[in-house]
Amino acid sequence: MPRRKVISEDIRNMKVKSHQSAEGYAATIKIFDISWSTVRQIMYKWRAFNITSTQPRSGRPSKISQIQRFTDLPCCTSGYCSITIRSRYGSHRRVARKKPCCQKKNHNDNALIGFLVFLIILTSLALLFVLYKIYILRRKSTLIINRYDENSLLNVEPIGSEVLLDAYKRKIADEGRLFLQEFQSIPRIFSRNPIREAKKSCNQPKNRYVDILPYDYNRVQLTTGNGEAGCDYINASFIDGFKESKKYIAAQGPKDETVADFWRMVWEQQSSIIVMVTRCEEGNRVKCAQYWPSPEREAEIFEEFIVKLNGENHCPDYTIRHLSLANKRERCAEREVTHIQFTSWPDHGVPGEPHLLLKLRRRVNSFKNFFSGPIVVLCPENVIFALNAGVGRTGTYMGIDAMMEGLEAEGRVDIYGYVVRLRRQRCLMVQVEAQYILIHQALIEHNQFGETEIPLAEFHSTLSTLKQKEQASEPTLLEVEFQRLPWYKNWRTFNTGVNEDNKKKNRYSSVIPYDYNRVLVKLEDECSRDQDDDNDYDNDYDNDESSDEEEESTKYINATHIDGYWCQKSLIATQGPLPDTIGDFWQMVFQKKIKTIVMLTECQEGEQEFCSAYWGDEKRTFGDIEVEVTATETLPAYTTRSIQIRHAKRKESRQMKQYHFLKWAGRELPEKPQDFMDMIKNIKQTCGYGNGRPEKILPAVVHCNDGSSRSGIFCALWNLMDSAETEKLVDVFQVAKALRKERQGMINSLEQYQFLYDAVEGAFPVQNGEVKHAATTPSGADSVQVINENKPEQPASATIGTEQQALVVEEAEESTPLVAEAGKDTGAVAEGKEDDLKDPGSPTEKTPLGEGSNGPVITVDV
């Protein structure tokens, strides 16, 4: 083998033992028995160093004895390296300048590093450019949105009180097109108002919904927190009143974890009135945490706040709670807080009667004083957008309250402008169109009718004022009030009652039940057993209008559901049964589980039949119902009969009582109001209709010749008595107005209207300057006469019947449907004048209303 090749092989197999020194890398090569020329060749092969060396000291060539393998010589970094060659002849060290052994590698690394640095710089510049562009675009979009927020607003002029009704009719025409246009032009959120605090991570759990947040500029800030992040935040906003800054606080319904913050806000703002426009649960969903103590516990502690329940008054539409609030950190006295919870807002839509919100406003204002602080209003929101947001119902109440002040102060209202103002202070205030329309309806209600509610303590003095005449030629205030009562003509359809097959079942063609609240009597083969009857009765409360399927499976009877004071459909007003409808009458009594029947006429008055005898001296059968009178009690003014009915097919028996008033025959009004009131009180006491808060009341049936003239007076006094005893308030006007909407021909004369006032005055006489409840005539043994029903009845004296006055009213415009989808019967109104009434006469048969009246003609409230 040639020597050069051997040396090359040796070079490849040598190892280098290297270490790092102060000068750089040092390599030690141990070579034995090798000539110097070979060493030079070895070093030449290592191109890592520029080597200049000399011959070994001996000058003698070496023989190859051992070669230590040498590989992986690291690249030096200092610029100099030393190489020591050791042989048997000694050691030889040479220092050489670094030759670019790693020069090529370093060039590659430097290029890569430079490229990466350039790429990072370029990327950073591109990222900064993109961020700048995003900032510019957002700024432009914000300006565009803000400009759109302002440009979308309409120029809607304020409405004067004298043209308020006309403006409403104009806007509600064509399915409320103008109302919709106005409402949709108001931005849901004004984007120029920042919302930063509410979006912080520490505050997000306190919000019930992510899209209903308070603006930063007018949010309520808590000042006595625990110092943690977000301790000053609560989802609540200050809202301005008509001309009063920060009159209200609009807050979401508290969550379980924010109840303490809610009471902290009440304490810091010194608020003494809380208005809650919701229930804690609606539609099986929790809408608001109960932040007050229950009657069982009486007191609750929320962190440092102690809340006590001092009293609780339940009314049909609202509950008033008297609370006391104390702070354990402060030694000041307890503060009184009035909590008013409105409970008549339906799960969907808006309240059917605008005057309910006016009534709520009167309750709130009755507790307000100069030191009340801001009124806290909280609610859930309509299911369309959000729940428990504190915007929709809250904004509606605030809009009504503020615009009422404007109407009274300036004689005009700017509803559109105020709703825009509300939206600037909290997003989505007045959330749906129906709420926007409800504000108009409530203002029309107040503008047209005024405040007709009278405290019971002031009833006698107010009635004296109403009956006074300033001049003999001028009407009394009571007459003026009656003239303001609206007449409702065709505001609802009554197609079923005027059907050819059913016309013969009506005693008078002028009194036909409306389709929406007529009593449905199931066909016998459609009837089920007791459990199904209960469900049928419950469904009557849930469904305002009968469906087509129910229409096909029911028979017609001239009877109407009448709303009571405590609950809906607590009375049934019906005509005196005809000979052919007695079976239907008893079928209705059996299916609706009636326990009380009130009869206000004789079977025969004069020459006219007012009611067919639907009971007999002995057991009688009408259709499938067996009727038997088991006992009779006679009082001077009325007779009570205990009646047992039995269904022949089902073999079921039921007991009921009939109250037959005896002092009305031949008169338009009862002979003595006190006798009539005594009977009503006795019915309430003995039949379970007394004061209370019933969850469900079986309806009582009241009938007269037409189911309206006398029955209307009974229904009115029935509700007025409950109101006077529960709320210590009397509102004859609203009661009569509601009855006129429910059935034709009710409270149709001034004499009947004044009788209501006189009857209430007699039921609550004044003693020693205080109003007392009149004692009910006892029905003891001394005043009870048991008679034999087998004896023929005494003939009734000749009487003069009362005719149903015609419901004359100005025809409403054809294009005035009420709020579509928001409740068909909300604020429906008919117009009319008392001068249009016809002279009363005897109740003769009248022709049914024209076919054009059968269509769904809906008018609006005057």
3-state class (DSSP) for residue 283: coil
Q: Exposed (0-12), middle (13-18) or buried (19+): which is 753, by Cβ within 10 Å? A: buried
Q: For 190-196, which contacts have Cβ atoms below 8 Å and span 24 or more sequence positions?
A: 190/146, 190/149, 190/215, 190/423, 190/424, 190/427, 191/142, 191/145, 191/146, 191/149, 192/142, 192/146, 192/149, 193/217, 193/424
CA pair distance 144, 842, nearest whole angstrom? 72
Angle at the Cα of 551 (from 549 to 554), degrees rounded to 5? 110
Angle at the Cα of 429 (from 439 to 161), degrees rounded to 5? 25
Residue 765, token pair as written in the block: 């006489």
Q: For residue 360, give Cα distances in angstroms to 275, 320, 343, 441.
A: 9, 11, 10, 15
- Catalytic residue status for 704: yes
Q: For residue 641, give Cα distances in angstroms to 583, 595, 675, 690, 786.
A: 19, 12, 18, 20, 10
Tell me the HSE value of 204 on the side-chain side, using a 13 A CA sphere: 5
CA pair distance 174, 814, nearest whole angstrom? 9
Q: For residue 261, give Cα distances in angstroms to 291, 310, 387.
A: 11, 22, 20
CA pair distance 762, 799, nearest whole angstrom? 26
* Backbone phi and psi for residue 637, each to the nearest 5 degrees, phi listed first: -100, -25
Residue in the block written with tokens 């970094």: 77
Q: For residue 797, give Cα distances in angstroms to 232, 325, 381, 575.
A: 79, 66, 60, 21
At residue 505, what is the residue type? K
CA pair distance 489, 493, nearest whole angstrom? 10
Give every CB contact of residue 189 below 8 A, 6+ residues apart in sequence.
423, 427, 428
Give every CB contact of residue 156 below 8 A, 6+ residues apart in sequence.
182, 414, 416, 417
Residue in the block written with tokens 């405040």: 451
Residue in the block written with tokens 């054009």: 852
C-beta of residue 288 within 8 angstroms of C-beta of residue 280: yes
C-beta of residue 82 within 8 angstroms of C-beta of residue 55: no
What is the CB neighbour count within 10 angstroms for residue 508? 21
Residue of 76, 379, 427, 611 marked catalytic: 379
What is the CB neighbour count within 10 angstroms for residue 427? 23
> Dihedral (C-alpha) 742, 743, 745, 749: value to the nearest 10 degrees?
-20
Residue 517, token pair as written in the block: 């609240």
C-beta of residue 438 within 8 angstroms of C-beta of residue 350: yes
Q: Exposed (0-12), middle (13-18) or buried (19+): which is 473, by Cβ within 10 Å? A: exposed
What is the CB neighbour count within 10 angstroms for residue 344? 17
CA pair distance 490, 501, nearest whole angstrom? 21
CA pair distance 381, 431, nearest whole angstrom? 8
CA pair distance 786, 820, nearest whole angstrom? 57
Q: For residue 802, give Cα distances in angstroms to 609, 709, 719, 788, 842.
A: 13, 8, 24, 32, 5
CA pair distance 411, 405, nearest whole angstrom? 9
CA pair distance 434, 180, nearest whole angstrom? 9
- Catalytic residue status for 379: yes
C-beta of residue 217 within 8 angstroms of C-beta of residue 195: no
Residue of 76, 288, 704, 715 marked catalytic: 704
Known catalytic residues are 379, 704
